[in-house]
Structure 1
């Protein structure tokens, strides 16, 4: 798969590459951003950042302040888009929390979404293979994943669904129990053919079923987040960890006064990047 570089932007000594390519699993052209830090390392660890509802690949790079910390720790960051673009299925562009920019990082099973809403396969398989072939300096064996809101759901759920792929995961105000919130119910009800499939994409349910080795997950959330009680259900995720006797494997920081916005995300970016850096071996 060939990438087209539409812009190269100098940022904190490294380079932010704006890329496009044709995706077979999504059946459309996709845009993404890749930050390569200033480093002499021949193999650069990789952090995947999954964005939230309404976002493109640009929001986090322009507002999240991630490049500064990635440059400091010598980590490359991949910023994929949040859904296929322009498929024009009925209703695809009608609401901000379903369809365009709201792919929920799963493979749809219900028609017509199953034709191309395959963000799970895109993020886990197609895009990594293409990037590591095109940029051999990226270390495919040393990856972590993080995400904001819907992207936090994606980061945590994919971490559990593909054990061993990522060294760690973290969430900025993640949708941690989507089967029990309006955003998740709308998405899963639309993308998935049966309700029995829902739990296999829910971070809290996946954690309950997890039998693997000890993990070290990190979550932050603002206590002034308007979505905290209704949509995020982070306490359900914490309760699942306690039921499993694995509460020491999840660190949750609840931050007074912070909301759900990029003002919050940029304020805690260093916490998440340093968490990833610890597991990627660059601290």
Structure 2
């Protein structure tokens, strides 16, 4: 009779509370050489850390937006492992222009004040997908993160990374500047999911605490359409942290308004607390279009 000690190879960093790690004696059958009482050791593979290959789809280093043909279903979920991000500049963040309608065009990011030469860093861990010159944005770095988001850092004066570099949260990406169509030195930061720009202030709190607003966020079209926001003021935030909340909000986002006698676009916009532009876009009409009594208009806040 022999005494054997069971040998367990345990994955470092895993929770092993479910395993019996006591070193019991095992009685061996002298004929077969196998233990009489065989106790299998379970390997809980469901707890193994999933490896996410963020370069598997639409990974292009030569273009700014590789998702032009992608179809995204709304609402969609964004998950964060952390509750904090790293501020993209190493001083107080002063937002000079927000995500929204600006000078007759959609401004799909936020502008953060800086001085040429200020360091610009990555807000989250990720891999550099694009590092190069882009018309309008000038010298630009795009980082793809492990939750599917991409963050853009534009109008740089210098690069500190190249495409396919792995970067950590807070790692230097480049120096701020005025390249491209910049009016004065600033950082133009864009947050995208599969090519769709999201209001960055829905995701990140740009205050001194640098909080991610929620580790689970659901995004509706309200937060991806610059037409529904003003670049001059922060939009009222209503965080959607579950699919149920997101679906319920969709019922509120659109309503039908029936044109009444004496109605004008201005009166309808004021009555519903929205911009004239949002009415025009939602209904594919022009500013000088004739409104008819009984006409139905889609109202999107």
Higher helix share: 1
TM-score (normalizing by structure 2): 0.25
TM-score (norm 1): 0.26
Quick check: which has more Rg, 1 or 2?
2
